[in-house]
Amino acid sequence: MTAKTIRKIIQIDTEKCNGCGACIDSCAEGALALVNGKAKLVKDQYCDGLAACLKECPQNALHIIEREAAEFDEEAVKSYLGQKVKAQPETPCACPGSVVKEFSAKSTKAPVPVSSRAESELTHWPVQLTLVPAGARFLNGADVLLIAHCVPFVYPNLHQDFIKAHAVLTACPKLDDAEAHLAKLTEVIKKSNLKSLSVLRMEVPCCSGLTYIARKALNGSGVDLPLKEIVIDTDGQVK
């Protein structure tokens, strides 16, 4: 039987947890996993109690408490992580959005003639949040649409349904520098007299970080601005 002791260990408030997966990515020991859309402690012995995951949680759902628990077991962690790698060769991280999928073709119709194809509704360049100057003229007084990088690949009518009449910014909350995005978006909001801000993101948990960045940027800017969130699932449907 594994020895138990009173020690520091993670506790998860499931009411606050929104399943974004940020804490899972930050736990080097693999002590956390998503179960039914919520973060869960896999085993007490995998948690070192050092709280590296706390600062990553946008919902403040994680806390360190003291309770009776199995002692942290570094060898058990190494074995567990090794098993995870073997069991999930096509899953690069714990986020469900990284699970490999295949889709069948949705249509076998002939290609649409070039003359009848929809035209671009984009009115400016650049669009990458990192590259857009905070005081760019096209942002002044605009309805801004912050789009997650994966959305254009799954939503075919993006330009007509969403980009039209919007200034566009694009970013990825998982693979980009989230802190840099937060700083830039805060500066954009302060300088550009925006009319509104909308976030168009994927349904996968890690993509909720884009909405978190937008909310935090609004709070940090001190500007009272409407924020709308639009979520697209991996089948290309608006949720």
CB atoms within 10 A of CB 3: 8
Whole-prediction pTM: 0.62
Closest to 208 in 3D by CA, of 29, 71, 58, 6: 58
| Residues 6+ away with beta carbon under 8 Å from 14 | 38, 61
H helices of the chain, in order, are 22-26, 74-87, 151-154, 158, 178-192, 208-221
* Token pair listed for 194: 């925006």
- Sheet hosting strand 143-148, strand order edge to edge: 167-171, 143-148, 196-202, 227-232
- Give dist(CA 235, CA 233) in Å, integer: 5
Mean per-residue pLDDT, 157-162: 96
What pLDDT shows up at residue 89? 43
Domain residue extents for the chain: 4-96, 120-232
- Is pLDDT above 90 for 103? no
- Is pLDDT above 80 for 68? yes
Looking at per-residue pLDDT, the higher value among 2 and 231 belongs to 231
What pLDDT shows up at residue 85? 53
- Is pLDDT above 50 for 91? no
Question: Which CATH fold would you assign to the domain 4-96?
Answer: Alpha-Beta Plaits (3.30.70)
The CATH classification of domain 120-232, taken from the options 3.40.50, 1.20.1070, 3.40.1360, 3.30.300: 3.40.1360
Mean of pLDDT over the chain: 86
